[in-house]
Chain A
């Protein structure tokens, strides 16, 4: 079956530090890959996505590249801000049959950025 594994947190960084959150996946076929962010007390928001191998998703300074050879989709940001403090979820979605695009989520990585 499909699964997503991401690094456990919490991750604590100083402002302007470099961020990497590792994510690897197991899937049959050719999934689409996502990073979602959850700010305290809120629902999940789509941060970025990639739908095929070698695609790079990017948004708000965050980037992730779909690496089929290593089955990875690591999230990176060059300089984090206090406002980036949140929980980050890696997720995948198989090609649909008639089932819509149900997502398989990793367990989430909590990020705390200190001034």
Chain B
């Protein structure tokens, strides 16, 4: 099992460009999450999907959209990137018990 995979690993965008971060899990987990990690801020929840077909906003959803494509895949889209979205993005998944499994992260720089 690969666990949680994320693509790309690194990305540089110019202000105003759009992109989609991809996430997939092969553990048959119901719930999936997107976090961003910024220095001194810990991880903050952007969006989550409790189950296939549902998505909900987390703590910092502005400027992002998500799609739960199927049970395996959960993508995060930046429609018009801003320098404030420079961060490391982590996808995670879980079953209906506490504890999440994290992907390796995507390091995004917006110039």
Contact = CB atoms under 8 A, between A and B. Distances in A.
A101 interface: yes
Contacts of B49: 100
Among A34, A42, A46, A102, max chain B CB count under 10 A is at A102
Nearest to B44: A105
Interface in A75-115: 89, 93, 96, 98-103, 105-108
Contact of A102 (B30, B45, B51, B54): B45
B78 interface: no
Contacts of B31: 100-101
**How large, as a class, is the contact surface on chain B?**
20 to 34
Contacts of B4: 43
B100 A43 contact: no
A90 B100 CA distance: 13
A100 B103 CA distance: 18
B96 A99 contact: no
Contacts of A103: 33, 43, 45, 100
A49 B33 CA distance: 19
Nearest to A108: B42
30 contacts: A4-B42, A32-B98, A36-B102, A42-B105, A43-B4, A43-B90, A43-B102, A43-B104, A43-B105, A44-B43, A44-B90, A45-B102, A46-B101, A49-B98, A93-B99, A96-B50, A98-B51, A99-B56, A100-B49, A100-B50, A100-B51, A100-B94, A101-B96, A101-B98, A102-B33, A102-B45, A103-B45, A105-B42, A106-B42, A108-B42
